[in-house]
A = this chain, B = another copy of it.
Amino acid sequence: MRLSRFFLPILKENPKEAEIVSHRLMLRTGMIRQQSQGIYSWLPLGKRVLDKVNKIIREEQNRAGAIELLMPTLQSADLWRESGRYDAYGKEMLRIKDRQDRDMLYGPTNEEMITEIFRSYVKSYKDLPLNLYHIQLKFRDEVRPRFGTMRSREFLMKDAYSFDIDREAAEHSYRKMFTAYLRTFDRLGLRAIPMRADTGPIGGNLSHEFIILADTGESEVYSHKDFVNFDIPSVDTDFDDVAGLQAVFDKWTSVYAATSEMHDEAAFAAIPEGDRLSARGIEVGHIFYFGTKYSAAMGASVQGPDGKQHDAHMGSYGIGPTRLVPAIIEASHDENGIIWPKSVAPFDVSIINMKAGDQACDAASEKLYAALGKAGFDMLYDDTDDRAGAKFATADLIGVPSQIIVGPRSVASGEVEIKDRKSGARETLSIDAAINKLVASS
């Protein structure tokens, strides 16, 4: 992508409404724009990151055997009357009347709708286990939306729903998602700690929040330090291996970790003082096993091997992509801007032409652009006539992992400079060597 043909509205000033660094950087880099309170557009730079986050989430959901569908945003109130949540859900639910005066709502979550889908089609235990997910907009009318897309009203959620014949099978399904989440956050460059959590309005009796540590987090969390070094389940994980996933789950729940709601002072005090971690955290995922709460209320049962009807045992599993993007920034930035993990960077490489219009600089930049494009890199080529200092600042601000700096002096000797955004390390190389180095490290 040539910057002259992209839409990257960088703000020169720090927006004063931004209270936390991710919100400030997302506004400054032109990733998002607030359209109404707690309602955002994702501008092209932000959209690219969001797409990469969604792609990783999808890959890990699919690997764990979940199947993607797409439910609508608007739901009928009648569905929620069946589960009893229509009246129970507070003002966070956006209630709507359509032109026929029917009660509708903008879905804050989809347990009811997926249960309706399940009961309409699935009749036998032979069709289980089943896990269906979608990545879809939700709306929760928070009194005080804040921190940009970290806590917005309209937001994207990946929500998966598992159905099993009994508790034992359902707990295996729960551990599949538990394992998939560990892999997902790791691939996003985050170290997330699963913590026993309160189940809240979803209900049920087994639940974990996945929390990343950040000073700006909304939750207080308490855990053992060992989490930082636990191994992440490998790409070859067999999700059908009941004992294998049990071992992953046991390991990751073997030491103390809790949010303030579930905190047990005595258990925490029992940890050697040097191993205690007390910090603030951001919730980036939440999983629930809630048994037959919805299936019993809504008549979602299947015939078991015993010939009798059994209410399906269900779980639900949420990740918020529009919250993950700022969470990644909170975890990875410096005073000059964002430092994207490679896996979600909006571009792989920035090519900075220090003197656009100069024949040698243009030729070298075009050569790099063509060769790296052919090698499959996503590039942002700064071909504008801004001054070099502004280009450097923009490249650091938007945090693309590798920069190639094409300046008149080095180009005269056939060389360019590669800068690593994270370490700041710079290296001067011939153009061909620069191409080879980037290809080799990708």
Contacts and interface: CB of A to CB of B under 8 A. Distances in A.
A124 to B, nearest CB: 12
A181 to B, nearest CB: 20
A441 interface: no
Interface residues of A, number: 54
A113 B100 CA distance: 27
A104 interface: yes
A67 interface: yes
Interface in A1-50: 5-7, 9, 30, 33, 35-37, 39-44, 46-47, 50
Contacts of A40: 72
A70 interface: yes
Interface stretch (A91-99, A215-223, A286-294): A91-99
B94 A7 contact: no
Contacts of A33: 117, 120
Nearest to A36: B76
5 contacts: A41-B113, A44-B132, A73-B73, A74-B154, A99-B143
B36 A121 contact: no
B68 A117 contact: no
Contacts of A99: 91-92, 94, 141, 143
Nearest to A9: B121
Contacts of A390: none
Interface in A116-155: 116-117, 120-122, 130, 132, 137, 139, 141, 143, 153-154
A39 B130 contact: no
A75 interface: yes
A71 interface: yes
A304 interface: no
Name which of A36, A116, A132, A143 has the most chain B CB atoms within 10 A of its CB: A36
